[in-house]
Chains A and B, each alone.
Chain A
C-alpha cells in the first residue's frame, strides 16, 4: 500500500516533468506575441504613428463586419470541399496499400506526397496558364472539342475559383494524409488482424470495423489539424487572386482579410481583432469536433 502511493506521487511528478520543456518554451516564445496581439486589439494603430487606445471599438466593429463573416464562410467552405475528398482518397489509398501487395508502393506514396512541395508561387502561375484567358490550355482543348459555351472566363466564376482552391488544397494534402493514416495503421498489433481472419472477416469489413476504429486518435488528429490549417488558409488563394480574393471575394479567406487590413490598409488594431476572432472561431469548432469524435469513439 505504502509503496503504491509513493509510486503515484512519483508518477504525477514525472508527468509534469515531461511536459515542462514545452510549456517553458511556450511561455517565452508563444505567449508574448499573443499578449502583444491582444494589446493591439484595443488600439487604433496605423503601424507608423503612435497607437491610440480605443477600448472595445474594434470588437464592436467586427461583430457587424459582413466581410469578416463572409471570409469565415469562405475559409470553411473551401476547407470542407477539400477535406472530405481528401479523407476519402487517403482512406481508400491506405486500405489499398495495407491489404494488397502493391508493387512500387513506396514509390507511389512518395510521389503522392510531392504536390505538398510545390510552392504557392508556381501554383498561381501554373493554373493561370491552364485557365486564364480565351487562349489558355483548358479553353484551347475545350474549343477544339467544340464544347458548348467554350471558351470560358473561368476566373470570373466564383464557384469555379473557389472549387479550384479546394482542388489545389486536396491535391497538395492527400499524399500527406495517406502517410499519416498509414503511420497510424502501423501501430496496430498484427495479432488483431489474425484474430479477425480467424473470424472470417473480409478485407473491407476488417478495414471498416477494425482498422478505422483503432486509428481513431490519428483520424481525430487529421480532422482537427486540417480544420485549423484550413481556417488559416492563406498562400494558395492569395496567389491565385492577387491577394484580394476576387472574383467578388469568393476566395477571400480570413487570414487574407486580416493580412490586408493590417499590412495593406494599415489598420493593425483591427487586424489584431480579426486574429482574435479567428482564433475563437477555430477554438470553438475544434472543441465541438473534438468532443463529437471522442464521444463517438467511447461509444464504439
Chain B
C-alpha cells in the first residue's frame, strides 16, 4: 500500500462524511422537534431530545386521529405504487421496443402530461371526481397510478439501456407471446429500475397534500400530510405535535427505502476494481 491511496481514501471519506452531516442534521432536528414544546421549537435550535413527547402525543391525538390518517395513506400509497410500477414498466416497454403509427405523438402526450401545473387543474379534478362519484374515496389517488408518466419515462430509458433486441427476437423464435416476453423476460430484467421508481412513487404519493385536502371532505378520509397540516393550527400553538406527526409519517418511507434499496444495488461495484 503506498501513501497516495490512503490519502485519497481519507479525502473521499472526509467528503462523504461532510455530506452525511449536511444531510442528516436537518432531518435529525426535525425528528427531535417532536419531543419539544412549541415555544422552544420556534425560538431555539434544539439539538437534544426534550421532555414534551407525551404532551405532544396527547395534543396530536386530540386534534386528529393520526393512525386513521396512517391507514388512509397506506390504502392509497400501496396500490398506487404497485400499479405505477407494473403499468409504468408495461407502457415503457411498449414505447421502447415497438414501432407503431403515432408513437412519437403518443409519447409526446406522456411527456406533456408531466408538465401540467397542478394548482388550478385541481378545480377541474374536483369536478371530475364529483361527476364520477369518487369524492371521499381512495380511487382518485389510486387509479392515476396506471398513468404515471415519470415512471414511464424513466423505465423507457432503462429498457433502452438494458434490453437488447436480439434477446427479444430470440424469445420470439422460441415461440413466446408478447405478453409472456414482457412478464417473464423484460420485467425481471428491469426490476431494479422498477424498484427505484417505486421508492419515489411511494414517497410522492405518501406526501401528496393538496389533492387529498381538496378531494376528501370527510375528516376520517384525510391522509397523513393533511392531518399534519391540520395539527399546526392558525398560530404557532401546536408545532411540537406537528413534528411528532411528521416523525411518525417518515417511518414507513424509511422502511420502504431500506426494503427496496436491497434490490436496486445488485451488481453495482462490478467491473473496474483493482
Contacts and interface: CB of A to CB of B under 8 A. Distances in A.
- Is there a contact between chains A and B in the complex with CB atoms less than 8 Å apart? yes
A115 B41 contact: no
Interface string B194-207: 00100110010001
Interface in B218-249: 225, 228-229, 232, 239, 242-243, 246
A220 B99 contact: no
Interface stretch (B50-58, B68-76, B253-261): B253-261
B161 interface: yes
Contacts, number: 288
Contacts of B196: 179-180, 183
B147 A40 contact: no
A278 B156 contact: no
A188 B161 contact: yes
A63 to B, nearest CB: 18
B124 to A, nearest CB: 3
A175 B272 contact: no
Contacts of A149: none
Given A115-B27, A117-B203, A121-B242, A22 B120 contact: no
Contacts of B22: 171
Contacts of A99: 269, 271-273
B10 interface: no
A262 B119 contact: yes
A118 B30 CA distance: 7
A220 B147 CA distance: 20
Given A108-B16, A187-B161, A19 B120 contact: no
Interface residues of A, number: 105
- Chain B, interface size category, equals 35 or more
Nearest to B148: A22
B119 A255 contact: yes
Contacts of B133: none
Contacts of A220: 157
A14 B242 CA distance: 50
A217 B242 contact: no
A232 B210 CA distance: 15
Contact of B246 (A35, A119, A137, A258): A119
A232 B118 CA distance: 9
Contacts of B160: 217
A218 B157 contact: yes
Nearest to B150: A225
Closest 9 CB pairs of A and B: A15-B98, A18-B94, A36-B124, A193-B271, A217-B157, A33-B124, A187-B162, A14-B178, A25-B147
Given A98-B271, A119-B225, A232-B117, 18 more contacts: A14-B178, A14-B179, A21-B90, A21-B91, A23-B147, A30-B147, A32-B128, A99-B271, A102-B12, A117-B27, A183-B196, A186-B193, A187-B158, A196-B271, A214-B161, A220-B157, A271-B120, A286-B115
